[in-house]
Amino acid sequence: MLKTTRRPLAGFTLIELLTVIAIIGILASIIIPSVGAVRISAQKAAERANLGTIGKSATIYATDNSDYLPDPLSKSGQSLNASGGLFKWMLLLARAGTLTGPSFYFSKIDQPQYQCRVEDLPGTIYNPTNHLALATGIGTFTPNVELVGGLKTDYLPTTPIAFIRGLRTDGQWDKDQGVYGESGGAIVFLGGNVQQYTSIDSKLTRPSGKPTNNILETIPYPPGGNQRVYGKNAKIGTEGGTKPQLAN
């Protein structure tokens, strides 16, 4: 009769298992933050592209509106049913058919109190049954941009059209109102370029050609002009509009 010998079953010791778990934990602590940083960086890049699209759409709008970009204080703007100049600016552009989707104006990585999901936004900025009115519910959200109204295409190419919400007049983004906190933001200019900043550091240009930190000093403001900066929960722009500041 043949005898059979049993071989001991292969397996891991407790020490080996604990070692593997420790290695996995170390790798996770390295990889997960990196993945999160890449996701945020990619989202910021997408939102810079959105800012560029807003700027281009505004200049296209001007070709059919006597060289004026969207102006909430104009006769066309005053006829709109929307709360505040920020949403009227958006609605003017949408009614012209150049930028009808609201997702261009909102951030997925905004401050928690201002975040909104894309699926919660309406399909268009205007009301489908009344294009003079804002779509139902959109006015309750906070856009991630501040918009400049009353500009003309013959202004200096260094004139800002729109910028990421939360910029202060000292050239820094606010930790609470800034879309990305204090880490900076971007500006789209009349010349078509989109510039990313951590802080302004006198990189903006007044109409006189002199450098400035204050974006309000970069906007031409002729007597009786409609130039205003519009925003919601912002540091510079307001729903009624903030006037530019004259400087030498």
Q: What is the dihedral of CA 86, 91, 92, 95, to 10 degrees?
A: 170
Look over the chain and give the mean of its residue pLDDT values, rounded to a whole number: 90
Going 64 to 69 to 75 to 80, the CA torsion angle's sign is positive
Contact 151, 66 (CB under 8 A): no
155 band by pLDDT with thresholds 50, 70 and 90: very high
What tens digit of pLDDT does each residue of 59-110 get?
A: 999 999 999 999 999 999 999 999 899 999 999 999 999 899 999 999 999 9
pLDDT above 60 for 26: yes
Calculate mean pLDDT across residues 124-151. Answer: 95
- What gap in Å lies between CA 38 and CA 214, rounded to an integer? 31
Per-domain boundaries in the chain: 35-230
- Centre a 10 Å sphere on the Cβ of residue 153 and count the other Cβ atoms it contains: 16
Q: pLDDT tier at 39 (50, 70, 90 boundaries)? A: confident
- Helix, strand, coil % in the chain, rounded to nearest 5: 35, 15, 50
- Cite the DSSP H helix spans in the chain: 14-63, 75-78, 85-95
pLDDT of residue 19 exceeding 80 = no
pLDDT tens string 203-222: 999 999 999 999 999 999 99
CA dist 202 and 204 (Å) reads 6
Instruction: Give CA–CA dist 89/72, Å, rounded.
Output: 6
What is the rounded distance in angstroms from the CA atom of residue 191 to the CA atom of residue 100? Answer: 23
Distance set, CA 4 to CA 1, 8, 9, 210, 230 (Å): 10, 13, 15, 94, 87
pLDDT at 8 over 70: no
Q: Residue 48 pLDDT more than 80?
A: yes
Tokens 């919660």: give the residue: 120
Q: Is the pLDDT of residue 13 over 90?
A: no
- What angle separates helix 85-95 from helix 14-63, to the nearest 10 degrees? 70
Give the total residue count for the chain: 248
pLDDT at 189 over 60: yes
pLDDT confidence bin for 169, thresholds 50/70/90 = very high
Q: How far apart are CA 175 and CA 71, in angstroms?
A: 29
